[in-house]
Structure 1
Amino acid sequence: MECIVSLEGLAPSQHGQLKYAASFIDETISDIQLDADTIRIQHDSPKGNSGIEERVRKLIERFSQGDFGFKENILFEQHIDTPYEGDIIAELADKKIIKILEPGLFIFREPFSSLMRFFDYSFVTKIAARFEGLTTEEYPAVIHADTLNKTNHFTSFPEHIHFLTHLREDLDTIEAFSQSIRDQGGWQQDSPLDMNATMPKPKFTMNPSTCYHCYEGLKNETLEGEGRIVTAISKCHRFESRNHTDFGRLLDFSMREIIFVGKPDFVKENRLRAIEYLKELAVEWQVDSILEVANDPFFTNDFQVKASFQRNQEMKYELRLTIPHIKKSIACSSVNFHSNTFGNAFNISMGKRPAVTGCVGFGIERWTFAFLAQYGLDESQWPAAIREQYAAWQQLSV
């Protein structure tokens, strides 16, 4: 069935947000297409078109509620006539450089895997290392649900969360589960197993953001001096439904972050430095890009309030790299200011006041995809700076 709903009353700036959120309204949706004035949804829902339309209109009301205004601000813009315009994902898959396991889930092989390591090395040495007093931390890929609750992720981005659980610590349950799998000839997605009976309520989730563990590690601490700067890379996980078919929107991805925790001026000044370093790198590497004010894709009823506040306070900037083949751009880095949200949540203090925080994020797979989408696999076509730095890094890695 196809459900067609008018977008009348919804600002064009919110069409993309509606398309993203519409993927979550029904499990039977197979395709979503956005036109200038309508959204078309292919589905097989038992609720019929009326049930789908009702939910779409609920989202339209959410994203058009009030007149808060979205502040537009571009900090940096660089247009480069890049040499490659092909479908880089199709080419990488055809050459077996990547293996697509399912939408958003990839295996990366050479040279893509080497480029990922090179980009991460570059973000550390060319940006992170310029901050005095930088320390490095290593984080797990899972996070305690109680910790994630303190970040407000459950209420702001509930659709992202991958919950983790396990078989109950009960011999009869474990043996019965194992026997049932044998009886049905192996694991089946539509197995009639009663998961509630065999598994406890999740205590952990997959971690959706690198910096959360940094704040968890500083819980109940009082920091000395002006503050602390930490860098870390970790695997992050976000479920985004049919949006995983969008270019670069992965289920499992690597996020390098530089995290600032301390006094307000300390965090703000270092954040501004990070913005300048990011602009310098975009120029040096000659990537077609734009650095602009942005907002997180909040999934909540108060979307307009949160998103407008973020934009108007310039709390989030994104460096977006152009993907010539689809004539769109994707966010590859973000620069964020959280005020004292996490300082309060985790009781991190600077003297008698809560610490404020900020961070710079680099999506490693997105940077690699976007760079190859502009310059292709032929290294002779790459910018000279990238060729030279990549060759030097390869020598170091031998």
Structure 2
Amino acid sequence: MECVVSLEGLASSQHGQVKYAAAFIDEHIQDIRLENEQLTIIHESPKGNEAIESQVRRLIERFSHGDFGFKENILFEHKVDTPYEGDIIAELVERKIIKVLEPGLFIFREPFSSLMRFLDYSFVTKIANRFTGITEESYPAVIHADTLNKTNHFTSFPEHIHFLTHLREDLDIIENFSQTIRDAGGWKQEDALDLNTSMPKPKFTMNPSTCYHCYEGLQNETLEGDGLVVTAISKCHRFESRNHTDFGRLLDFSMREIIFVGKPDFVKENRLRSIEYLKELAVEWNVDSMLEIANDPFFTNDFQVKASFQRNQEMKYELRLTIPHVKKSIACSSVNFHSNTFGTAFNINMGKRKAVTGCVGFGIERWAFAFLAQYGLEESAWPEAFREQYHAWQQKSL
């Protein structure tokens, strides 16, 4: 079935938000298109078109409250006439450099996998290591649900969460599960388990953001001096439904972060330094990019309040790299200020006050995709500085 809903009257800057959120309104949706102020939804929902349209209109109402609009506020631009305009994803698949397991879930092979390692190395050596006293930590890809609850992730981004559970510690259940799979000739998703009887309620989820473990690790501590700076890379996981077909929107991805925890001035000054370092890197590598004020895609009824607060306080900046083939840009790095939200949630103290926090994130796969989308796989076409640094890293890694 095809359901067409007009977005006329809704600010055009919010059309993309509605399209993104619409992917979550029904599990039978097959495709969503946004054209000429109309949202077209292809689906096989037993609820029918009327119910789908009703849900879309609920979203339109959510995103249209108040007079807050998503006007671009660009702080920096580096415009480049890049040489490659092809479909880099299609080329990578054709050359078997990436293997698509399903939308948003890839296997990366050489040279893409090497490019990812080089990018992470560069973010550490060219940006992270410029902060005095920085230390590196290693985090698991799994996070306790109680920890995630303290970050308000369950109420701000409930649609993203991957829950983890297991078979109950019950011999009959375990043996019955194994025998059922054996009798069926293997695992079949349609023969779903009775989750209520076979599995306990989840205690863990996949971690959606690298920095959460840093705050968890500092829980109930009192920090000395002005604060601390930590860097870490971990696998992050966010379920984004049909949006995984969008360029660079992965189900499982690598996120390098630089995390600031401490006094307000310490965090704010380091955050400003990180913005300058990002701008320098964009120019040095000659990537077509811009830095703008942004907001998180909150999936809540108070979306407008939260998004407006973020933008008005300039709590989130995004470095976006252009994807010539689709004539759009994607966020590859973000610079965030959380005030004392996480210091309070995790009881991290600076003397008698709660610590404030901020972080800089680098989406490793997104940087690699965006760079190749602008310059292609032929290294001779790459910017000279980038190419020389990449070859020097390769020699050092031998």
The alpha-carbon deviation at position 35 of structure 1 amounts to: 1.5
Q: Deviations over 1:119-145 (max 9, x none)?
A: 000000000000001000000000000
Aligned match of 2:106: 106
Residues in 1 aligned to 2:70 and 2:120: alpha-carbon distance in whole angstroms = 33
Residues in 2 aligned to 1:71 and 1:4: alpha-carbon distance in whole angstroms = 26
The alpha-carbon deviation at position 69 of structure 1 amounts to: 4.3
Say yes or no: does 1:62 pair with 2:62: yes
Residues in 2 aligned to 1:194 and 1:28: alpha-carbon distance in whole angstroms = 21
**Unaligned stretches of 5+ in structure 2?**
none
**Unaligned stretches of 5+ in structure 1?**
none
Write out the 4+ residue segments of structure 1 that deviate beyond 6 Å after TM superposition: none
Counterparts in 2 of 1:339 and 1:99: CA distance versus 1, 3 Å: same
Structure 1 residues 253-292: aligned runs within 5 Å: 253-292=253-292
The answer to whether the Cα contact below 8 Å between 1:71 and 1:308 also exists between their aligned partners in 2 is: no
The alpha-carbon deviation at position 282 of structure 1 amounts to: 0.1
Aligned match of 1:9: 9
Say yes or no: does 1:376 pair with 2:361: no
Aligned match of 2:231: 231
Counterpart AA for 1:327:
K
Say yes or no: does 1:23 pair with 2:23: yes
Residues in 2 aligned to 1:70 and 1:284: alpha-carbon distance in whole angstroms = 30
Say yes or no: does 1:161 pair with 2:161: yes
Aligned match of 2:309: 309
The alpha-carbon deviation at position 192 of structure 1 amounts to: 4.3
**TM-score using structure 2 length:** 0.99
Say yes or no: does 1:298 pair with 2:298: yes
The alpha-carbon deviation at position 194 of structure 1 amounts to: 1.1
Aligned match of 1:43: 43
The alpha-carbon deviation at position 73 of structure 1 amounts to: 2.0
The answer to whether the Cα contact below 8 Å between 1:71 and 1:312 also exists between their aligned partners in 2 is: no
Aligned match of 1:396: 396
The answer to whether the Cα contact below 8 Å between 2:13 and 2:69 also exists between their aligned partners in 1 is: no
The alpha-carbon deviation at position 75 of structure 1 amounts to: 1.3
The answer to whether the Cα contact below 8 Å between 1:322 and 1:328 also exists between their aligned partners in 2 is: yes
Counterpart AA for 1:227:
G
Residues in 2 aligned to 1:231 and 1:55: alpha-carbon distance in whole angstroms = 41
User: May I ask how many residue pairs the two structures share in their alignment?
Assistant: 398
Q: Deviations over 1:151-205 (max 9, x none)?
A: 0000000000000000001111110110011111111011143121110000000
The answer to whether the Cα contact below 8 Å between 1:72 and 1:293 also exists between their aligned partners in 2 is: yes
Counterpart AA for 1:19:
K
Counterpart AA for 1:348:
I
**TM-score using structure 1 length:** 0.99
The alpha-carbon deviation at position 287 of structure 1 amounts to: 0.1
Residues in 2 aligned to 1:69 and 1:5: alpha-carbon distance in whole angstroms = 21
Q: Deviations over 1:225-252 (max 9, x none)?
A: 0001000000000000000000000000
Residues in 2 aligned to 1:133 and 1:390: alpha-carbon distance in whole angstroms = 27
The alpha-carbon deviation at position 8 of structure 1 amounts to: 2.2
Residues in 2 aligned to 1:323 and 1:67: alpha-carbon distance in whole angstroms = 31
The answer to whether the Cα contact below 8 Å between 2:13 and 2:71 also exists between their aligned partners in 1 is: no
Structure 1 residues 143-292: aligned runs within 5 Å: 143-292=143-292
The alpha-carbon deviation at position 294 of structure 1 amounts to: 0.3
Q: Deviations over 1:85-117 (max 9, x none)?
A: 000000000000000000000000000000000
The answer to whether the Cα contact below 8 Å between 2:210 and 2:236 also exists between their aligned partners in 1 is: yes
Say yes or no: does 1:359 pair with 2:359: yes
Partner of 1:62, secondary structure, is helix
The alpha-carbon deviation at position 70 of structure 1 amounts to: 4.2
- Identity across matched positions, percent: 84
Counterparts in 2 of 1:98 and 1:192: CA distance versus 1, 3 Å: closer
The alpha-carbon deviation at position 71 of structure 1 amounts to: 5.7
Counterparts in 2 of 1:192 and 1:392: CA distance versus 1, 3 Å: closer
RMSD: 0.7
The answer to whether the Cα contact below 8 Å between 1:5 and 1:39 also exists between their aligned partners in 2 is: yes
The answer to whether the Cα contact below 8 Å between 2:97 and 2:111 also exists between their aligned partners in 1 is: yes
